Every structure is written in C-alpha cells, then in structure tokens.
Copies of this chain bind each other. A is one copy, B any other.
C-alpha cells in the first residue's frame, strides 16, 4: 500500500494506473475509519482494479464553531485498517498542499446545497463540492463511492459531476449500521452513554416510516407525525429538521409521496449532530 501526500505525485500515479489500462475506484473520507468506510472500500474493490482512499479533514466544509479542531483523527489506525481491507493507495494531503497561498476558487451546487443540512450549515456543501472537484481531478477515478448516510452530499456531488461534465461515476453505497440500527459515523464518538442509547430512535423512526409506506400510507403529514413521535423519545436531542423530499432534486413534498422520496433528518445532541435518512417508495436501493 502506497501513501501519497502531494497532489502532483497522486496525479502522476493516477496517470500511470490509467496508462496501464486499469480502472480507479475512489473512496474520499475524513479518516477515523469505521465499518461504514470498510463497506465503501469493498464496493470500490468490486467496481475497479485499483483502490484509492483519501484521508483529508477538509477545513473549508466546517464553519467557525463547528468541530474542525476536535474532529477525531488517528492516521496510524486508519492506515492499518485500510491496508487490511486491500486499499492500494492512501492519498493523505495536508491543507497547505490542497489550499496553497492565493487559493480562491469555489464550486457551488446552488439549489441542492441550500436545503436540509444546508440550512444549519450554509457553507458546508460548497466546501464539499470544491474539495471533491479537486480530489476528482487529482485522483482521476472511474468510480467514486459515497455513503448513503450523507445522501444530500451524494446528490450534491453527483449533480456537480454531471454539471461539470466530469468523467466518473458517483456511486452511493448503503448506510452501514450498528446492530441496534444507528448509522455508523465518525462523529458517534461524541455521544455520551445515554445519548448513544437514545440515538437509536433515528433509525427506528425510519423503520416506522418504511412500514407505513408498506401499509400503503402516502400522506406526508401522517408519516412525519409517526416519525416525530419516535424522535421525541430521544429527549436529550433537539430536532433540527425532518423532511420528505424528492430524489434527485430535493424538492419538498407537501402532501402525498408518489415517486422516489427521501425521508431525512438531523438531530443535535450535546456535541454530536446526527443525520440519517431512508429512501421511500419506488427508488432503487443504492446498487
């Protein structure tokens, strides 16, 4: 397994791989790897010859007051886990090589970035789109695999790739969950013991919603009422939003769901802000 630290070297390596006729599968992460990331690596392996994992806690997607400084980091552990899982290359740049002096270009996905998590985190998706555009130009992947837990992020990046005519496929991989249903996240380490117990209500509420839809309930009000009742059991958390929106354009659905729809939520515990989602009705599961 190679560890590459500069954009120049990563580009040269990507050129060599492509010149040899091999395909590149890419898993961009902020590190502190967990089982969800392992599932992304496995998916990339199925799709392509060479697996590149990037580890970069991207400062431009954090606002002032967010958890940039305390975001969990453990490169040695990440290195070991990535190697065990068959990663070929870790791209591990520092902020200075990604954002040298004079850097000033921003990529924005103007509508998708504004809703859902974009309300509480207005600069977040601009940072994500910009760093992904850079990473795609550096790593030159054929496939980039994103976790469906961050479904809005997946849609933002996929839209950016289409709009910018980039030559890669953005692949969503199903959310990996703890045995009790909690979606895996590096930020779960922020939860206190009692918060961790209550966090289960996010995934439970999604299960409730899927069951309602299976019972032919289509009313957004009825589904959201059920979901909110379940979420209220997480008494230590404050609900940020829970909404049902269309896929892929994230328009708010107000009356009845009739096509591919995303039920998504964010809840704020003392430190951790948890998100989760499920696709309702008529949308293929992530492949």
Q: What is the interface of chain A, defined by CB distance below 8 A to chain B?
A: 7, 11, 102-112, 129, 133-134, 137-138, 159-160, 163-167, 249
Q: Specify which chain B residues have a CB less than 8 angstroms from the CB of A111 in the assembled complex.
A: 104
Query: In whole Å, how far is A194's beta carbon from the nearest beta carbon of chain B?
Result: 41
Query: In whole Å, how far is A10's beta carbon from the nearest beta carbon of chain B?
Result: 9
Asked if B129 contacts A164 (CB within 8 A), the reply is no
Query: In whole Å, how far is A60's beta carbon from the nearest beta carbon of chain B?
Result: 12
Instruction: Please name the residue on chain B nearest to A139 by beta carbon.
Output: B165
Q: Specify which chain B residues have a CB less than 8 angstroms from the CB of A110 in the assembled complex.
A: 104-106
A64 CA / B200 CA spacing, docked (Å): 52
Which of A104, A133, A159 is packed against the most chain B CB atoms within 10 Å? A104
- Main SS at interface, chain A: mixed
Q: Specify which chain B residues have a CB less than 8 angstroms from the CB of A105 in the assembled complex.
A: 107-110, 129, 159-160, 163-164
Q: Can you list the 6 inter-chain pairs with the closest CB atoms, starting with the nearest?
A: A105-B163, A137-B165, A104-B110, A106-B108, A104-B111, A138-B165
Q: Specify which chain B residues have a CB less than 8 angstroms from the CB of A11 in the assembled complex.
A: 165, 167
Q: Specify which chain B residues have a CB less than 8 angstroms from the CB of A167 in the assembled complex.
A: 11, 137
A249 CA / B100 CA spacing, docked (Å): 14
Query: In whole Å, how far is A13's beta carbon from the nearest beta carbon of chain B?
Result: 13
Asked if A134 contacts B104 (CB within 8 A), the reply is no
A109 CA / B102 CA spacing, docked (Å): 10
Query: In whole Å, how far is A144's beta carbon from the nearest beta carbon of chain B?
Result: 15
Q: Specify which chain B residues have a CB less than 8 angstroms from the CB of A164 in the assembled complex.
A: 105, 107, 133-134, 137
Query: In whole Å, how far is A21's beta carbon from the nearest beta carbon of chain B?
Result: 10
Query: In whole Å, how far is A219's beta carbon from the nearest beta carbon of chain B?
Result: 27
Asked if B249 contacts A159 (CB within 8 A), the reply is no
Q: Specify which chain B residues have a CB less than 8 angstroms from the CB of A7 in the assembled complex.
A: 165
In addition to A104-B109, A137-B166, 14 A-B residue pairs with Cβ atoms within 8 Å of each other are A7-B165, A11-B165, A11-B167, A102-B159, A104-B112, A104-B163, A105-B129, A105-B159, A105-B163, A106-B108, A133-B164, A134-B164, A137-B164, A137-B165
Q: Specify which chain B residues have a CB less than 8 angstroms from the CB of A106 in the assembled complex.
A: 107-108, 110
Q: Specify which chain B residues have a CB less than 8 angstroms from the CB of A133 in the assembled complex.
A: 164
A133 CA / B167 CA spacing, docked (Å): 13
Task: Return 8 A-B CB contacts under 8 Å, by A number.
Answer: A104-B109, A105-B109, A105-B159, A106-B107, A107-B164, A133-B164, A134-B163, A134-B164
Instruction: Please name the residue on chain B nearest to A102 by beta carbon.
Output: B249
